[in-house]
């Protein structure tokens, strides 16, 4: 039901018959399945995005499974991927966490899928997206209550953990963790994060099997203006055929210069 409403919304948007399109119908249907988002209060865009992607994945996965049931068993055995959909094909990546026991030096690799990478912001004033990526992918030491249970030692041990990208998605989404705990209070970080428009290279954070010379270009930004308990979301989206950027601010859809796309309110980045 949500997928059908989403399809209607996309159709209305791309028909180009209106200056703007309200997602009321989709929001109503989606809110019935996710009551948290039905209330007229502020919600987190990242949480909403993850729920929408998961809902669409489940719907498209079911359609894919139905289509596979009509194919021959030989065709189906070639790996239609019952757990895959257009959503996973576009947005799902794979991380591998390499965990090293500091006592016996045994290394264990733990894979983990992701659709959104939540990046810490290592500065209060200004930093770059590369700084955020470096912070996310730097090795961490697990001690005390965070110790791992080492299979070979048979006890809990200190360990180091380091993440690497083993599969990069076609579209990678970065969530800048602007809402963080500071001095026992949850606050919003207004740090200016400078992000590249093109040539984003993820190979330093990837395995040697990662495709060489694969670089990403920015295609959309979700902005959050305001504080932790209130605010306003807007979006910048790049029109691929023309390379022009547009701002989506409620009923106002306007063309903007490239220079306006870099803001200190960026919350989600799509490459």
Tell me the percentage of the chain whose pLDDT exceeds 90: 74
Average pLDDT over residues 147-174: 95
Confidence band (pLDDT; 50, 70, 90) for 207? confident
Q: What is the model's pLDDT at position 74?
A: 45
Average pLDDT over residues 102-109: 96
Q: What is the mean pLDDT of the chain?
A: 89
Q: 133 φ, ψ to 5°?
A: -65, -40
31, exposed or middle or buried, with CB in 10 Å at 0-12, 13-18, 19+? Answer: middle
191, exposed or middle or buried, with CB in 10 Å at 0-12, 13-18, 19+? Answer: middle
Q: List, for residues 57-100, the tens digit of each pLDDT value.
A: 999 887 655 555 555 544 444 344 458 899 999 999 999 999 99
Q: What is the model's pLDDT at position 53?
A: 96
pTM above 0.85, yes or no: yes
Question: In sequence order, what DSSP letters do the residues of the chain get, joined into one string?
Answer: -HHHHHHHHHHHHHH--SS----HHHHHHHHHHSGGGTSSS---HHHHHHHHHHHHHHHHHHHHHHHHHTS-HHHHTTT--TT--HHHHHH-EEEEEEEEETTT--EEEEEEEESSEEE----SSEEEHHHHHHHHHS-EEE-GGG-EE-TTTSSEE-EEEEEEEEE--SS-EEEE--EEEETTEEEE---EEE--SS-EE-GGGB-TTSPTT-EE---EEEEEEE-SS-EEEEEEEEETTTTEEEEEETTEEEEE-GGGG--TTEEEEE-
| Between 270 and 228, residue with greater pLDDT | 270
The tokens for 217 are 């270009």
Q: What is the model's pLDDT at position 1?
A: 84
CB 240 within 8 Å of CB 221: no
Q: List, for residues 106-116, the tens digit of each pLDDT value.
A: 999 999 999 99
Q: What is the model's pLDDT at position 6?
A: 96
Instruction: Decide if pLDDT at 56 tops 90.
Output: yes
């Amino acid at each position: 039901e949500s997928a059908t409403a989403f399809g209607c919304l996309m159709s209305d948007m791309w028909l180009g018959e209106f200056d703007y399109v309200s997602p009321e119908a989709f929001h109503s249907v989606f809110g019935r399945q996710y009551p948290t988002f039905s209330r007229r209060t502020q919600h987190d865009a990242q949480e909403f995005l993850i729920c929408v992607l998961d809902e669409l994945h489940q719907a498209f996965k079911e359609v894919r499974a139905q289509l596979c049931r009509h194919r021959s068993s030989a065709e189906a055995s070639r790996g239609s991927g019952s757990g895959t959909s257009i959503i996973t094909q576009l947005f799902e990546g794979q991380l591998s966490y390499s965990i090293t026991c500091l006592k016996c030096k045994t290394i264990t690799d733990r894979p983990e899928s992701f659709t959104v990478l939540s990046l810490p912001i290592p500065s209060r004033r200004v930093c770059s997206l590369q700084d955020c990526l470096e912070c996310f992918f730097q090795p961490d030491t697990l001690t005390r209550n965070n110790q791992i249970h080492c299979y070979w030692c048979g006890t809990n041990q200190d360990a180091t953990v380091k993440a690497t990208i083993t599969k990069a998605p076609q579209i990678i989404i970065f969530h800048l963790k602007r809402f963080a705990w500071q001095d026992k209070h949850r606050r919003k970080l207004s740090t200016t994060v400078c992000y590249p428009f093109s040539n984003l290279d993820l190979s330093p954070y990837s395995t040697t099997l990662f495709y060489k010379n694969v670089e990403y270009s920015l295609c959309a930004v979700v902005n959050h203006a305001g504080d932790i308990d209130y605010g306003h979301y807007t979006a910048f989206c790049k029109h691929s055929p023309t390379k022009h950027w547009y701002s989506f601010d409620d009923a106002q859809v306007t063309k903007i210069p490239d220079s306006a796309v870099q803001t200190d309110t960026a919350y989600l980045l799509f490459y």
